[in-house]
């Protein structure tokens, strides 16, 4: 099992899907078992909904189906709501999952998550998609 655990914000996932994307490495390295993706039911539902909107139902089924089969995609269902992001409360599902999954990083480019940098507990490390790509390229 990979040692690096992350939660991936939906927009970062969406930017990683196209083979022509500079961020396709994110899914490639996931499929190669380089890191562990931690998700919750709420996150999977949002992934599926957004992939369908932007790509297609078939693409959503393929990706979510692959996630169900991969041993390095771990499902966790937080039994609490930290409520740390007030600007967009819907983003809290990623924070709660990151905390429950004890991940190394929450990967996001969403500025709403910047509030986490000012909170000492719980400590949720956020990094940008570009920074995560750098980490993957170095692995």
What residues make up the domain containing 122?
5-138
What pLDDT does 56 receive? Answer: 96
Q: List the CATH number of the domain containing 112.
A: 3.40.50.1010
What pLDDT does 77 receive? Answer: 86
Give how many domains the chain has, as a whole number: 1
How would DSSP label each residue in the chain?
--S-EEEE-HHHHHHHHSTTSTTTHHHHHHHTTSSEEEE-HHHHHHHHHHHHHHT-HHHHHHHHHHHHH-TTEEE---S-------SSGGGHHHHHHHHHTT-SEEE---GGGGGGGG--SS---EE-HHHHHHHHHH-
**Model pTM score:** 0.89
Q: What is the pLDDT of residues 13-61, one digit of tens each?
A: 999 999 999 999 999 999 999 999 999 999 999 999 999 999 999 999 9
């Amino acid at each position: 099992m990979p040692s690096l655990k992350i939660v991936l914000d939906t927009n970062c996932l969406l930017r990683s899907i196209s083979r022509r994307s500079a961020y396709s490495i994110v899914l490639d390295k996931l499929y190669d078992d380089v890191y562990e993706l931690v998700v919750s039911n709420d996150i999977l539902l949002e992934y599926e909904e957004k992939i369908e909107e932007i790509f297609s139902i078939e693409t959503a089924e393929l990706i979510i189906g692959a996630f169900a089969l991969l041993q390095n995609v771990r499902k966790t269902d937080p039994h609490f709501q930290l409520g740390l992001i007030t600007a967009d409360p819907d983003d809290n599902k990623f924070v709660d999952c990151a905390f429950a999954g004890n991940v190394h990083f929450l990967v996001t480019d969403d500025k709403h998550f910047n509030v986490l940098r000012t909170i000492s507990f719980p400590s949720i490390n956020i990094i940008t998609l570009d920074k995560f790509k750098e980490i993957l390229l170095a692995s």
